[in-house]
Amino acid sequence: MLNHNHTNRAVVTVTNEVYLEGTKVLFYSFLKHNPDYTGDLVVIHDKISLRKQSELKRLFPVQFHQISESLKNKLHLLVN
């Protein structure tokens, strides 16, 4: 699933549409300061629209992974 670039590295963040601008800054800054980075860029999210995903993919070679219902249920239990 990960490591499409055949490395053991990935920059992974969890975000939503509210924090998408911050995610752009994160990836931009990381890649600017690590120009030789060849690992994956991964966004774990809960229902980022396809339009917003496309917007981010135009800027970076990012992979999106929707969180599972099981994880959402466990997080809901934890928060309560």
pLDDT computed for residue 8 by the predictor: 83
Confidence of residue 40 (pLDDT cuts 50, 70, 90): very high
Q: Which residues contact 6 (CB under 8 A, 6 or more apart)?
A: none
Q: Are 48 and 18 in contact (CB under 8 A)?
A: no
**Angstrom distance (rounded) from CA 33 to CA 37:** 9
What are 11-22's pLDDT values in tens digits? 999 999 999 999
More confident residue, 2 or 19: 19
Alpha helices in 1-80, H assignment, sequence order? 20-33, 50-59, 69-79
User: Higher confidence at residue 72 or residue 1?
Assistant: 72
Distance CA 16, CA 43 (A): 9
- Mean residue pLDDT of the chain comes to 90
- The pTM (predicted TM-score) of the whole model is 0.79
